[in-house]
Amino acid sequence: MSFEHKQVIQFPDLAQNYLFPGSQTDLSQMISNHSRLRIGGFNPYRYSNSKAGANFAKAESGKLVRTEGPPTVQQCDGHVLLDKLNKVVMFSPADQVITVEAGILLNDLNKYLLDSGFEIPIGLNEKDQEECIGDLMAMNLPHWNLARGGTWRDWVVKMRIVLANGEIVTSGADVVKSVSGFDIHKLMIGARFTLGVISEVTLRIKPRSTPKDYPAIALNHGILFLTNREGLKELLEYSKCHTEDDDEFVKHAMVFYIEDESCLVLTESFQNHFNDAPFDSAKFGHVWRSHVGEFALPNFSESDQKLMRRTKAIFDPTNKLNPGEFGFF
Amino acid sequence: MDFSTLEAILRPDQILSGAAASRGYDCDAYTVDRSKPSVIVLPETTLEVAAVVRWCAASQVPFTSRGAGTGLSGGAMPALGGVVISTKRMNHILEIDLENRCMLAQTGIANRRLTDAVKADGFHFAPDPSSQSVSTLGGNIGENAGGPHTLKYGVTVQHILGVTMVDPLGEILTIGGKLGCGPGYDFLGLICGSEGTLGVVTEAWVKLTPLPKAVTTALVAFPTIRSATETVAGIIATGTIPAALEMMDRGIMNAVALAFKLTFPSEAQALLLVECDGDDADVVAKEMESVRTVCESNGCLEIRIASDEKERANLWMVRKKGIGAMGRIAPSIVTHDGVIPRSKLPEMLDFVYEVAEAHKIGVANIFHAGDGNLHPCFYFDDRDPLQVERVIEAGEIIIKKCIELGGSVSGEHGIGVEKMDLMPLMFSPADLEAQAMCKRIFNDGMLCNPCKVLPNQRGCAEHKMRWRGVAT
């Protein structure tokens, strides 16, 4: 089964040559035949230089598009979008797994699973449910169900990846548990398509649970992070001071989920609305949470930088895939 | 090679050598392949590990890290000799943060001790391999260990927030931390399950999981293997995911009956141990009721439900002591490890018995049925080389069948040296080259736990026969 192809125009300020592979072989050829490619769809979590103010505006479609600020990626010969790779390849409720192409929208996937009583417990908001799962995995977005549902890494058991040389490789197996060498698929999650392009995944699925209500909180700058209880208390205080008179701010409120007060996960971000000093989350030992904003290499520890550079050099030595991402220029 | 220069790094009591010591470290719990180390070192800190690794790198001496040596695929066997870095003295808990539900520990600590340290506060470290009383946190990370409760709680990688490790050149790396990983490449995901080939993990932040408030355990007897295996898929299909769903066959029943005087219905050919847990007792009771309905519809003979903790421990005894009890039946046991989609369990179990019969070896099955993770236990006499040969051949046939049915070469024991040659059955040359690329991120050379996981590594082929004692 496949779903309707919903073509969207994204990143109007960047590459104009949109490429929509219809098969994994197409994707492989596209990657082989180009020297620099932007991969994947628009992601609103990349706020660019937030201190400079808003970088996004709403397009007619209702989606946010970049309007100013330095481009995250360099000019490319083409922009690959996975939208047409949207087939369900295999579904086995008794084995608790489903295999789908990476262009399927999370929303479509969860609708498909609804009748059989299963779900992917990645609790993204409504807007992000309309993104394809390949993009969502590449960004590894945090979500309100993180404490219980984990990240994509916890649900992907097998992946097909098109590497920078066009080679299609497989990692993992169609079973809920496997230790079979080095898990390339884990490395691809959150790698923003800089090491390879996710083309097909097998996901472990879980019985659908009853939705709960979660508290919400707003913050005035676009960061996501995990913090501890001390950080949480401070954060709550801080947010109270900044949420009263800005409708837009509340509208774009960050949502977080606290499981027994142990873990805070902010799951929606947006650009600055104020010129105030940002919340000093570093004070509370936070970690930047999952791929929000333009994290370039200098943001990482020295050893992380070294490993990242080495990884990029091994997997994409000519910097073909998403050049500029993570600061790989 | 002059190993005495290691004394500049460690105290004499931290260095073991000589024939007796080498023999004690020439294999892990996979005893088929063996190779003696020159020296065993017992560092106590990350800095000492780093100093030893730097010494190895400078001297071009291979090194292999080792926890308790309970691995079942030869991952801790020093394939090219050299130095074994034992973490047995790195067994301290460094910090417990209950408020934020995490703990920092050295990786030589036994898995069970992590839970023991926080149980009174209502927490546990969820991965629970059967060897948990001795197997170490480092070994669990290396093998991405599972256990009976994997079905609900996941494998080790899902419970590790960060690690401190020493890379193959002796540099200390910190990956993730108390609050998990930030953005960037998921090196932590890669390290968990890499079988100690990317470096030596010395400390880890682990997640602490609340103990469930309600637990119900049942032991269900079935007249046939097939009725039990069909029940497994039936339970999952109802949408109930038990905390544990384990299966034992008649061979295991006979062994535990002999060892512990347990009794089972005489016509029973298989047992399912089913555990449901959670915070809401009503929900847990409903789940067990649903399990009972599926069991009854598949013709079960008897359902024993534990009424208290003592009875629960008794029901678990069949599962936890099953392999140990096999020791009464034969002098040697090899426990295999393969995974299949659980809907294929009936077909696969039939195949296992056929293969055992064709190879004239005894087999008993005790395994994580909910995960489709088989552990056929072949029992034999390893003093007879022909029996050993048949056991190895039967094991390979079974793993090939697992792959043919859409499964995996290993569910939780890892590849080590045991299954390296089976990797090409599951992965293409391009897949394996991509895996080798992952290894090169950390390890350009051949010193860090060499000749493991990936087949056809340079310089390893000539050693294989020696491991098995074929060559001298």
CATH assignment of B330-420?
Answer: 3.30.70.2740
Report if residue A278 sits inside a domain.
yes
CB B203 within 8 A of CB B274: no
Report if residue A298 sits inside a domain.
no
Q: Are residues A176 and A120 in the same domain?
A: yes
DSSP A54-100: --EEE-TTS-EEE-SS--SS---SEEE--TT--BEEEEEGGGTEEEE
Report if residue A299 sits inside a domain.
no
Q: How far is A278 from A275, CA to CA, in rounded Å?
A: 8
Q: Are residues A33 and A114 in the same domain?
A: no
pLDDT, greater one: A124 or A27 = A27
Q: Are residues A96 and A180 in the same domain?
A: yes
The confidence band for A207, taking pLDDT boundaries of 50, 70 and 90, is confident
Closest CA to A84 of A25, A165, A17: A25
The predicted model gives B288-304 an average pLDDT of: 97
CB A146 within 8 A of CB A267: yes
pLDDT digits (tens, 9 = 90+) for B224-275: 999 999 999 889 888 888 999 999 999 999 999 989 888 999 999 999 999 9
pLDDT computed for residue A254 by the predictor: 42
B214-257+268-319 sits in which CATH class?
alpha beta
Nearest to A175 among B171, B185, B339 (CB): B339
pLDDT, greater one: A8 or B396 = B396
The predicted model gives A277-290 an average pLDDT of: 42
DSSP B249-317: EHHHHHHHHHHH-----TT--EEEEEEEEES-HHHHHHHHHHHHHHHHHTT-SEEEE--SHHHHHHHHH
pLDDT computed for residue A298 by the predictor: 66
| Residue from A151, A180, A328 whose CB has the most chain B CBs within 10 Å, to mutate | A180
Q: Are residues A120 and A188 in the same domain?
A: yes
Nearest to B158 among A97, A150, A189 (CB): A150
Q: Are residues A131 and A160 in the same domain?
A: yes
CA distance B328 to chain A (A): 30
Residues A304, B171: C-beta atoms closer than 8 Å: no
Closest CA to A134 of A237, A271, A233, A39: A39
CB B411 within 8 A of CB B423: no
Report if residue A237 sits inside a domain.
yes
Chain A residues with CB under 8 Å of B373 CB are 177
Q: How far is A44 from A130, CA to CA, in rounded Å?
A: 12
The single residue listed with the structure tokens 């994290």 is A295
Nearest to A175 among B372, B427, B441 (CB): B372
Closest CA to B193 of A216, A244, A180: A180
Q: Are residues A140 and A56 in the same domain?
A: no
Angle (deg, nearest 10), helices B385-404 and B345-358: 160
User: If you measure CA to CA, which chain B residue comes closest to A160?
Assistant: B431
- Which range marks the domain in which residue A74 is found? 18-80
Q: How many domains in chain A?
A: 3
Burial of A317 per CB tally in 10 Å (0-12, 13-18, 19+) = exposed
Q: Which residues contact A212 (CB under 8 A, 6 or more apart)?
A: none
Tokens of A197: 């392009």
- Domain boundary, last residue among A175, A207, A239: A207
CA distance A291 to chain B (A): 5
- Domain boundary, last residue among A207, A237, A254: A207
pTM exceeding 0.90: no
Q: Are residues A201 and A96 in the same domain?
A: yes
pLDDT computed for residue B461 by the predictor: 77
Answer whether residue A16 shows pLDDT above 70: no
pLDDT computed for residue B296 by the predictor: 97
Residues 147-166 on A with a CB inside 8 Å of B are 150, 153-154, 161, 163
pLDDT computed for residue B184 by the predictor: 84
Tokens of B13: 């009591």
A48 touching chain B per CB within 8 A: no
Fold category of B3-86 in CATH: 3.30.43
pLDDT digits (tens, 9 = 90+) for A51-76: 222 333 344 444 444 444 444 445 68
What CATH number does the domain containing A197 carry? 3.30.465.10
Residues B178, A285: C-beta atoms closer than 8 Å: yes
The predicted model gives B141-159 an average pLDDT of: 94
Sign of CA dihedral B32, B392, A182, B439: positive
Angle (deg, nearest 10), helices B281-297 and B225-237: 140
In chain B, CATH 3.30.70.3450 covers 214-257+268-319
Q: Are residues A232 and A203 in the same domain?
A: no
Residues A190, B144: C-beta atoms closer than 8 Å: no
Residues 237-296 on A with a CB inside 8 Å of B are 260, 262-263, 285-292, 295
Q: Are residues A23 and A125 in the same domain?
A: no
pLDDT digits (tens, 9 = 90+) for A232-258: 566 556 555 554 444 443 344 344 444
Residues B411, A179: C-beta atoms closer than 8 Å: yes
Q: Are residues A122 and A187 in the same domain?
A: yes
Closest CA to B99 of A258, A37, A131: A258
pLDDT digits (tens, 9 = 90+) for B411-455: 999 999 999 999 999 999 999 999 999 999 998 888 999 999 999
Q: Are residues A30 and A75 in the same domain?
A: yes
Closest CA to B204 of B116, B138, B127, B114: B138
DSSP A144-188: TTHHHH--GGGTEEEEEEEETTS-EEEEE-SSS----S--HHHHH
Residues B189, A97: C-beta atoms closer than 8 Å: no
Which range scores top for mean pLDDT: A82-86, A105-109, A274-278, B449-453? B449-453
Q: How far is B420 from B429, CA to CA, in rounded Å?
A: 13
pLDDT, greater one: A46 or A110 = A110
Report if residue A242 sits inside a domain.
yes
CA distance B325 to chain A (A): 27
Residues B179, A286: C-beta atoms closer than 8 Å: yes
Fold category of B93-210 in CATH: 3.30.465
